[in-house]
Structure 1
Amino acid sequence: MLRILDAHHDRFGLSRPFRIARGTKTVADVVTVHIRQGDAVGRGEGVPYPRYGETIDGALAVIESARSAIEGGAGRREVLELMPAGAARNAVDAALHDLEARLDGAVVAMPTTLIETAVTIVIDTPSAMARAAHAVAGVPLVKVKVDGEQVADRIRAVRAALPDARMIVDPNESWNAAILEVALPVLIEARVDLLEQPLPADDDAALARFAGRIAIAADEAGHGIADLPRLKGSYSHINIKLDKTGGLTAATALADAAEAQGFGLMLGCMVCSSLGIAPALALAPRAAFVDCDGPWWLRDDREGGVRIEGGYLHPPAPGFWGGA
């Protein structure tokens, strides 16, 4: 068995700024992995995230440290032990999934129908957020980014523009318990379906008194199976992102464990290309909330990737990833 691994940095410009409580992105920096075996090539992508101490160079170094094992034939289960969870392992795991499917003539089980995905309204003035919401009128699910300022005005502006959409509100750890207490009546008034990671990840205990008053998803607070016992009583859902779990293999195990422990599932993503989204779609049918609009923000996506129209995600073209 002879394999050749290539890992490199790709950059995708955004069509408009992506502003959240943590900062503003204008480009998506990703690590792309190709693993060739004979005539078959498996592809994968990961997004190193500074919030978790990751960088492009760091992710490439992690992949390089595992090169000899991967080129020597290490499979996905071995990679779980060789590499830490994170964007680097996600890219390698996806490439191995893709390669295995192409070598075996099989396919990774993927949805064959349209997938309802959240469309994100980023932080801006309430009037600008209302205009952004009007521009996507009719979408079934909207995600509203907020920080600690103008919380009520921003949420109400989006709800007025999209009266019928399900709604996720995401402060990205920017609130404290006092802000949440004040915001809770507004969240209820606006019929918010899910509040995502309102408090910093190390403030989980403060969420316990809000349990049952609104559904809350763990994002930055929940990465893997080991986190689940700590999240109980504070969160009703867990946001599974392949860049956090370190790939679809680990994400599937996390989904199984989370469901067994009574958590609802949210499927999320970083701002990425369709190559970063494709593996995650295998979990989409299990998720109560799918938030995979990352490629929607790119000026130019990878050829043959997903399309997002009217809040529905169209699967990628045949042969794009996973043997499908």
Structure 2
Amino acid sequence: MQIQAKPEHIPFAKPFRIARGARTHLEIVRVTITDGEQAVEAECTPYARYGEETASVLAQIERVIPALAELSAQQAKSELQTLLPAGAARNALDCALWSLIARQAGSQFPSPYFQLQPALETAMTVSIGTPQEMARQARDYVAQGATLLKVKLDADNIVSRVAATRDVAPDARIILDANESWAGMDLPALFDALAPLEIAMIEQPLPAGADDALQCFVHRIPVCADESCHTRADLAHVRSRYEMINIKLDKTGGLTEALTLKEAAQQQGLAVMVGCMLGTSLAMRAALPIAQDAAVVDLDGPVLIGETGKDVLTYRDGQLIL
């Protein structure tokens, strides 16, 4: 096999804001693998929150190319799990190998290994702004047919922002994502204030490693672990604090670990959400096997970056159309 990795810079159609700040562009790493007959691609998004940057991810990939290039695709996928830790670099390689194995079997990933539904409800993400700005975003999504909204929040004006969103989306399912920003807050009181707004779930209210307070009260609203759960090794910590986990391939280090994490989580009574870093349709396709029976699907990355061009996934009426 020949393996190459290169960085790509993708500007957004409009800025995207979460608790950690605003984003105006995306830096990804794209991997290409060829076996002399087939050529496949996959991508990953280096994430600074996890100590990753484009240069470090490229260096990780380059380091393991000599070992992987001498193996079959199936052998390489197995060996990769121990050659690299969970993270963006392993994700790009793992997903490319899944795709190559499918091509070598005369098919196109996710076939022949996974059966997909023709359409999946996916969250549409409302980025942080004033209550009026967030209501405007939500109203636009609902007008386009969205039935599930993911509302990004920091520690300011939480209830007023959510209430403004609910006012313009009375029938939508709403989930909240605090991105670890609610440390030091009275969470029981905040959950009580949010409960009348019929919130389906709250994602990662406290920083990973500092979320013990979630054990100390009954959650009126289910809580989902994002930054607190990367792989199966995190489930022992998660079980007493959360009702759901968010599986992202850039955290698990690819589809191989993501499938195992999903099975283990469900066996332990945890609901599963499938999410994404910001990315293109190529990254979203790789996560589709996890999405098939997930309680929440959040794969709107291409919408957020304003992706255009060929091979772009179709988003219509609040659904990802396959």
* TM-score of the alignment, normalized to the shorter chain, above 0.5: yes
Deviation at 1:299, TM superposition (A): 3.1
Partner of 2:156: 149
- 2:202·2:223 contact (CA, 8 Å) conserved in 1? yes
Partner of 2:32: 34
Partner of 1:105: 106
Partner of 2:213: 206
Partner of 1:61: 59
Deviation at 1:71, TM superposition (A): 1.1
Partner of 2:266: 259
Partner of 1:45: 43
Partner of 1:285: 292
Q: Deviations over 1:13-67 (max 9, x none)?
A: 1111110001111111111001000220121110010000000000000000100
* TM-score (ref. length: structure 1): 0.94
Separation in 1 of the partners of 2:24 and 2:102?
34
Separation in 2 of the partners of 1:180 and 1:89?
36
Deviation at 1:212, TM superposition (A): 3.9
Q: Deviations over 1:257-313 (max 9, x none)?
A: 101111000000011001111110111112100011001022334521212122101
Unaligned runs of at least 5 residues, structure 1: 316-324
Cα-Cα RMSD: 1.3
Deviation at 1:110, TM superposition (A): 4.4
Partner of 1:320: none
- 2:117·2:292 contact (CA, 8 Å) conserved in 1? no
- 2:97 is aligned with 1:90: no
SS in 2 for 1:185: helix
Corresponding letter in the other structure for 1:81: T
Corresponding letter in the other structure for 2:94: D
Partner of 1:119: 124
Partner of 1:19: 17
Which residue, out of 112, 118, 129, partners 2:134? 129
Partner of 1:197: 204
SS in 2 for 1:227: helix
SS in 2 for 1:75: helix
Separation in 2 of the partners of 1:219 and 1:130?
25
- 2:6 is aligned with 1:8: yes
Corresponding letter in the other structure for 1:66: V
SS in 2 for 1:239: strand
SS in 2 for 1:94: helix
| Percent of aligned pairs with the same amino acid | 42
- 1:42·1:97 contact (CA, 8 Å) conserved in 2? no
Separation in 2 of the partners of 1:7 and 1:301?
22
SS in 2 for 1:286: coil
- 1:177·1:207 contact (CA, 8 Å) conserved in 2? no
- 1:273·1:301 contact (CA, 8 Å) conserved in 2? no
Corresponding letter in the other structure for 1:136: Y
Q: How do residues 175-190 of structure 1 correspond to structure 2 at under 5 angstroms?
A: 175-190=182-197
Which residue, out of 275, 293, 296, partners 2:303? 296
Partner of 1:322: none
Unaligned runs of at least 5 residues, structure 2: none
Q: Aligned residues, how many?
A: 313
Rate the CA distance shift 1:283–1:167 in 2: closer, same or farther, 3 A: same
The more displaced of 100-109 and 258-267 is 100-109
Partner of 1:216: 223
Corresponding letter in the other structure for 2:256: T
Partner of 1:226: 233
Rate the CA distance shift 1:211–1:224 in 2: closer, same or farther, 3 A: farther
Partner of 2:281: 274
* TM-score (ref. length: structure 2): 0.94
Separation in 2 of the partners of 1:51 and 1:295?
21
Partner of 2:168: 161
Corresponding letter in the other structure for 1:72: E
